[in-house]
Amino acid sequence: MWEGLRLQVIFLCLGAALWSSAAAATYRGSVPRESGHRRHLSSHRHRERGKEGQVLHRSKRGWVWNQFFVIEEYTGPDPVLVGRLHSDVDQGDGDIKYILSGEGAGTIFVIDDKTGNIHATKTLDREEQAQYTLTAQAVARDTNKPLEPPSEFIVKVQDINDNPPEFLHGPYYARVAEMSNVGTSVIKVTATDADDPTYGNSARLVYSILQGQPYFSVEPQTGIIRTALPNMDREARQEYDVVIQAKDMGGHMGGLSGTTQVKITLTDVNDNPPKFAQGVYAMTVSEDKVPGEEVGRLKAKDPDIAENGLVDYRILEGDGMNFFEITKDSDTQEAVIKLKKPVDFETKRSYSLKVEATNPHMDSRFIAWGPYKDTTLVKIAVEDADEPPAFINPSYNFEVEENAPAGTLVGRVHAKDTDMMNNPVRYMIPRYTDLEEFFTINPEDGIIKTTRHLDREVQTWHNISVSATEIGGHHQDAKVRVNIKVKDVNDNAPEFATQSEVFVCENVNPGKLIETVSAVDKDEMAHRQHFHFSLAPEVANNQNFSLKDNRDSTASIVVIRKGFSRMTQDVYHLPIEINDNGVPPMSSTNTLIVRVCSCDSKDTILSCNVEPFILSAGLSTGALIAILACIVILLAIVVLFVALRRQKKEPLIVFEEEDIRENIITYDDEGGGEEDTEAFDIATLQNPDGANGFLARKDIKPELQYAMRPGLRPIGNSVDVDDFIKTRITDADNDPTAPPYDSIQIYGYEGRGSVAGSLSSLESVTTDSDLDYDYLQSWGPRFKKLADLYGTKDSADDNS
């Protein structure tokens, strides 16, 4: 393709050169200087004598060039040679330099400054720019001085057929009346082509129809779509999708094409009369209805739409003309028969009416197709009693898949009031028929839904009742049986039919069938569905047993080695995978327990217990039982002894009820440092008699006074209990004759009105006693204070 384009460029350049030569000859004879197509620059100079004898030199101008052409969309490997500029002053010695400027100079068009060859370096698109105006000039190479004035020339981009036709306004939507004559204009479609309409056939378009025959046709030159079939009926088909193609190059081979869609809709005309679906309509009316209430409805169907489908109704005759009237529901186009006067069941039990339906708008073109009306007979029966709602079906059978999410639709029951009152009905499920409340029903429309997941394996059928109660009137109700079947879903994996152990003799021979296993599945088995058995991957290559799938939902377990030993291993666990081949497939791994037994020569099992071999090497069964019994007895004795010790254990201090004093506080605080001031209320240790003032101490000061250490002073009332206690402890530690005032302060109070007085043994220092307290000296440093206190008194008594 590119070689063809190159040849075309060469031919165009040759043609341009020939045309340029002819134009140059004409130019020399007529135009002295400027021309829009050609200029010539020559090195010949003519000498002319001017005034005053001055010799004048005149340069003969003339570029050997012409208007240039270049083909668009050229994508060859080399730049396109657009043309060549040559000046007569160019002697070929390289002293002349050609300069190019203007549109695209240096970017799109480049010039060889020595030869004057102009090349296009980029692909050109005529649809973007059809021509370029450039300026050429010859200058001296060494001085860059112009040797000729600049001259303009034009490079035109020659068009090729590279743009397909386009429908700028597609897709199109059109309407045409049904039953139109052949050739009726529907719509005109127009395509545009971006190629040059003045050059060749690139922009010459021809229209054709690709889709929509034989209903429509299109004019090739204008694009007008017309009907092609007569009596196209909207009621048979209303919309048509038509595809129109526009092709350039006059529709010839090799041209580019574009398509558009045209959706054509047939509009309606009144070409169909109204028609009742039945020749006789039966209705009922209760005798307790009041005038104005609706008795029933009927409708004459007209396939036409809009005003062409409007229908008017009237009663032509009948014995019920005085008792009933007819109106039209404008929304549904139904005839509504209403009660005009009260009816009496005992007087007359039935009435008949002849009703006519007509089109109010007639089309004169189709009157001959008439008549545009229809009649029917309406029979109205008078009812006497009020009846409960009636279900459409005597019973309902529904199905729902197991494991369906809560809220899944099960089905719908429908009941209606058989009376002409047509009262609404409310539905409910009596709880005694659905104790676990698997289902719920919408009280308004009777739609039954699930409330939880259903499991077919637990319960396959759910038999419930639905009650329909008439709202208003006498609140009569009716019940219907609803049977709901839970459809099976393959949600249970198969398992062994039995879980019994398999016994194998120690001296079993290889290849012996020891067991045929089968499986069961809680799900329903489909036709030709069977279980597939295989060994688990971890034991697929074991050297003891093999499995053969019998393809009848059973598998055979065969021994593949000879000789087993209970001493080495008495039990083998053989995991087997079972697949039910359902949708979705479910599988499980079940373990088959194979126990090695001792057998006689006839393969009769003698013993499968490994215990005799173990007991022979150690103790007998009776000895083990005796040892265990002794251990249990010893444990019972230990437990009994501990229980008795707990019962006999008494507390170290017994607080009898009568010994409790209201000001004695017992607590188990182990001391928290500074936290004690917050954890315990020191006010509870104070004597209530001294709460508001000073309380005199009841102890007797010792005769020996110990001087207070210098620097120590009595501490007054302070809110810091910790400092107060520490000060008192320091005083007590430094005064050997001082009693423990803090303990006396805590325990010396006996309560108000006590006749016993103080029970503190510390006051015994003032009484006569024969007790000897010298033994306190041997009790250690903890009792040094008591020893010094009482020992000092005894010493003082001895000295006196």
Instruction: Check if the beta carbon of residue 188 is closer than 8 Å to that of residue 222.
Output: yes
| CA torsion through residues 693, 698, 700, 705, sign | negative
Per-residue burial over 711-745, b = 16 or more CB atoms within 10 Å of its CB, e = otherwise = eeeeeeeeeeeeebeebbeebbeebeebbbeeebb
Mean pLDDT, residues 292-307 taken together: 92
Q: Is the pLDDT of residue 620 over 70?
A: no
Is 334 strand, coil or helix? strand
Q: Is the pLDDT of residue 301 over 90?
A: yes
Give, in order, the Cα–Cα distances in Å from 451 to each of 346, 443, 448, 455.
Answer: 50, 15, 10, 13
In the block, residue with structure tokens 């036409």 = 304
In the block, residue with structure tokens 């006839």 = 602
141 confidence band (pLDDT: 50, 70, 90): confident
Instruction: Write out the two tokens for 32.
Output: 């002295």
Q: Is the pLDDT of residue 57 over 50?
A: no
The pLDDT assigned to 54 comes to 46
Rounded to the nearest integer, the mean pLDDT of the chain is 77
Nearest-angstrom CA–CA distance, 107 and 99: 14
Mean pLDDT, residues 428-440 taken together: 93
Q: Domains of the chain (ranges plus CATH)?
A: 67-158 (2.60.40.60), 166-267 (2.60.40.60), 275-383 (2.60.40.60), 390-487 (2.60.40.60), 495-607 (2.60.40.60)
Query: Which strand ranges, in their side-by-side order, compose the sheet holding 477-487?
Result: 395-401, 477-487, 461-470, 425-428
Mean pLDDT, residues 114-119 taken together: 84
Q: Is the pLDDT of residue 153 over 90?
A: no
Mean pLDDT, residues 142-156 taken together: 85
Is 259 strand, coil or helix? strand
The pLDDT assigned to 617 comes to 45
Q: Is the pLDDT of residue 275 over 90?
A: yes
Cβ contacts of 103 within 8 Å, gap of 6 or more: 129, 132, 133, 134
Q: Is the pLDDT of residue 135 over 60?
A: yes
Mean pLDDT, residues 192-214 taken together: 86
3-state helix, strand, coil in the chain (%, to 5): 20, 35, 50
Mean pLDDT, residues 22-27 taken together: 33
pLDDT tens sequence across 718-749: 457 778 888 888 877 777 665 554 444 444 44
Element (H, E) at 292: none
Nearest-angstrom CA–CA distance, 167 and 230: 29
Mean pLDDT, residues 401-421 taken together: 87
